[in-house]
Structure 1
């Protein structure tokens, strides 16, 4: 076991291709050492800050980081970090790596660890780092790493957060809508379509969204589309018109008007600003921090 409070150096397995579960450093996530561009992630990440002070942008939200800060970044999100001001160990895995294991991945985007919780998480990450380096490619390695990752996620899910409270009916409806939007935002922005899929009325969805987020159901749907557009504009070189088509806009002008209304600048201006050192323009209105992350901030 790695002594508590000490973090093993994250190194990929020598000579190995992309692993199902492994640990790397922040610099391994991008080919640009200055992190001038956002990175669109195709794997799940836990980022544990081990040194320095600075900001990490997750989906254009600037999050303060110092030793002990943990970020949960999901596949499909965009990430940009203040390197070399920050150093971190990154646990990454393919979305299907935990298939079949009873793990409720309810980890907030931002957590500031402290005390025994910090020591325990550091030890879990360190041991996973050591084992992914030493045992990658051996017959039992996949099972070992899957269970170690499960333990890490379970431990993070048990951090004090008030998560045990009973959700209000409006919260349940809101989160059901969010899940349905995640599956369907590329195909429809009509709230009526989501109401049909969820077996409720548009009024019910709007009432739930207003109660939980302060925004209407239509705003929730449109913000998700604008977020995806922002990700693709910031992290890829895809033509703007093609991005619009991917998101269901048949005409570039319609996409341009939609994006400008939601974000406050045109798609072209947003893309032109993506390599500026300051955070890129925020998707407007700013998505709320999830309740569990708020609890850790206080």
Structure 2
């Protein structure tokens, strides 16, 4: 087991308000060069150097004032970070202490990369520095209250590009949460409409207003993303993916995957090796 994978188990096993920090130097000593898929958030701030990271099959450049947000479940790989300087903040989804920040980190379609403006950087840097100092101070103790409070301040100060436009429509929030919990078994809008007590048209209108996609397209995109993650990181076969994602057989899954991506599962898996 790589040190990063071991840390995944350590972090998720320490409680519901755990926050950890590390430097890129520490990441370099742990990284095994492979893909990672953690159950916690990873937020990185780059102070200097150049490199790149791939998150859910899209590659992002890294340089000074780059910010990276890797949500739980995302497949990611640090491609090139040999001279990067900065910090990574790792925290479980329930770590933020305010309702607003918990809502912010609960989204399943978080912006993964952006460049912090020169005006915002000093304020974010101060919030990050305070969080790092208190996290290191609290290491090994039973108290995690202050790091969790400072994490909420840091998340608020960070201000992702999508933060101000985060969907507040309660219909879409309920739909999004239900899809995340049930997309492996239920692929039709009718199921979610029945469970949530809305018409399929209402769900599609809410989804389109929040994401620019219909409710059906939102469900399909979520299934495809998970299929790609299972094929690339877990190296599952088409038959295993079909079973994991609620398809009747490998053939049915392969037709679905090819229709939405243009490639058969095996071909896509080979291309991402």
TM-score by length of 2: 0.78
* CA pair 160-215 structure 1, distance change in 2 beyond 3 A: closer
1:146 aligned to 141, 148, 159, which one? 148
Count of equivalent residues: 251
Distance in 1 separating the partners of 2:52 and 2:30: 19
* CA pair 222-164 structure 1, distance change in 2 beyond 3 A: closer
Q: 2:39, 2:72 within 8 Å by CA — same for their partners in 1? A: yes
**Cα deviation, residue 197, structure 1:** 2.2
**Cα deviation, residue 130, structure 1:** 3.0
**Unaligned 5+ runs, structure 1:** 1-16, 276-298
- The reply to whether residue 59 of structure 1 matches residue 61 of structure 2 is no
SS of equivalent residue, structure 1 residue 238: coil
Matches within 5 A, 1:12-91: 18=11, 20-26=18-24, 28=27, 33=32, 35=33, 37-84=34-81, 87=84, 88-91=86-89
2:188 aligned to 169, 187, 190, which one? 190
Distance in 1 separating the partners of 2:267 and 2:261: 11
Distance in 1 separating the partners of 2:148 and 2:203: 37
* CA pair 217-238 structure 1, distance change in 2 beyond 3 A: same
Matches within 5 A, 1:88-167: 88-98=86-96, 101-105=98-102, 106=104, 109=111, 110-140=113-143, 142-157=144-159, 163=164
* CA pair 79-115 structure 1, distance change in 2 beyond 3 A: same
- The reply to whether residue 269 of structure 1 matches residue 263 of structure 2 is no
Task: Show the counterpart of 1:260.
Answer: 258
Stretch deviating more after TM superposition (57-66 or 266-275): 57-66
TM-score by length of 1: 0.72
What's the C-alpha RMSD, in Å, of the aligned pairs? 3.0
Distance in 2 separating the partners of 1:241 and 1:180: 25
Q: 1:22, 1:93 within 8 Å by CA — same for their partners in 2? A: yes
Question: Which structure features the higher share of helix residues?
Answer: 2
* CA pair 54-137 structure 1, distance change in 2 beyond 3 A: closer
Distance in 2 separating the partners of 1:164 and 1:270: 33
Task: Show the counterpart of 2:7.
Answer: none
**Cα deviation, residue 165, structure 1:** 9.8
Q: 1:49, 1:86 within 8 Å by CA — same for their partners in 2? A: no
**Cα deviation, residue 270, structure 1:** 1.6
**Cα deviation, residue 162, structure 1:** 8.1
**Cα deviation, residue 160, structure 1:** 8.1
* Greater RCO, 1 or 2 (C-alpha within 8 Å, sep 6+): 1
Distance in 2 separating the partners of 1:30 and 1:252: 40
